């Protein structure tokens, strides 16, 4: 059973810097197939991490999000809502995560909710720069390593991820195939933190 949590407890200069900017060290993404027990994931969230709830149109999304918010707060963590600022606002979430195609909405969202954390997906250096220009607080670059996600595409790899982190001009999280076996390869390249779906198991 793979976990990122143990490795993330070991501080790095990058994560210390992220903490000073108010960014969580770990983003845990939910997925209808790969994280079927959402509340178990929330209960096991490492302190100070963020859970990114992606409802994908679930009819009970608001009720589920409220339950997750209570559990995440008990862990002193943050709840972000994927691609739904209205849902995030209605339950009092800490912010939103935007898909790459919607990164342009970041500035408008920040204008309405300036205290929110707004992250955006990025699958290329150009997309990371667009996220910065759009006003996102951080970009989540995927997939870094081979991943079972159907949308993962060709892995970015560590060298290209490092180049993106240097050139993007905003904090970068690594997502895709990140686990205890691979996360050590990401040390020292200037990341704000790590992100995972299956790399984090309850």
Looking up residue 43, the CATH number of its domain turns out to be: 3.20.20.70
Q: What is the pLDDT of residue 150?
A: 61
Is 202 domain-assigned? no
Q: Is this model's pTM higher than 0.85 or not?
A: yes
Q: What is the pLDDT of residue 198?
A: 77
CB 55 within 8 A of CB 81: yes
Is 82 domain-assigned? yes
Q: What is the pLDDT of residue 4?
A: 46
Q: What is the pLDDT of residue 27?
A: 98
Ranges of the chain with pLDDT below 70:
1-21, 150-152, 199-202
Is 201 domain-assigned? no
Q: What is the pLDDT of residue 13?
A: 44
Number of folded domains that form the chain: 1
Interatomic CA distance for residues 171 and 148, integer angstroms = 25
Spatial CA neighbour of 119 closest among 198, 31, 195? 195
By residue range, what is the domain housing residue 98? 5-196
Angle between helix 158-168 and helix 125-134 axes, rounded to 10 deg: 30
Interatomic CA distance for residues 163 and 157, integer angstroms = 10
């Amino acid at each position: 059973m793979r976990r990122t949590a143990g490795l993330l407890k070991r501080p790095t200069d990058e994560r210390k810097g992220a903490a000073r900017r108010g960014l969580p060290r770990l983003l845990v993404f939910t997925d209808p197939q790969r994280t079927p027990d959402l509340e178990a994931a929330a209960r096991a969230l490492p302190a100070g991490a963020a859970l990114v709830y992606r409802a994908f149109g679930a009819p009970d999304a608001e009720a589920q999000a409220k339950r997750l918010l209570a559990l995440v707060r008990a862990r002193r963590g943050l709840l972000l809502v994927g691609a739904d600022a209205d849902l995030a606002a209605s339950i009092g979430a800490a912010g939103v995560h935007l898909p790459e195609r919607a990164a342009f909405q970041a500035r408008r969202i920040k204008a309405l909710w300036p205290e929110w954390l707004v992250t955006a997906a990025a699958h290329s250096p150009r997309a990371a720069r667009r996220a910065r220009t759009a006003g996102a607080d951080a970009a989540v670059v995927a997939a870094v390593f081979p991943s079972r996600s159907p949308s993962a595409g060709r892995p970015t790899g560590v060298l290209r991820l490092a180049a993106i982190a240097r050139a993007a001009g905003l904090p970068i999280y690594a997502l895709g195939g990140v686990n205890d076996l691979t996360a050590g390869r990401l040390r020292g390249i200037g990341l704000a933190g790590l992100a995972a779906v299956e790399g984090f198991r309850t």
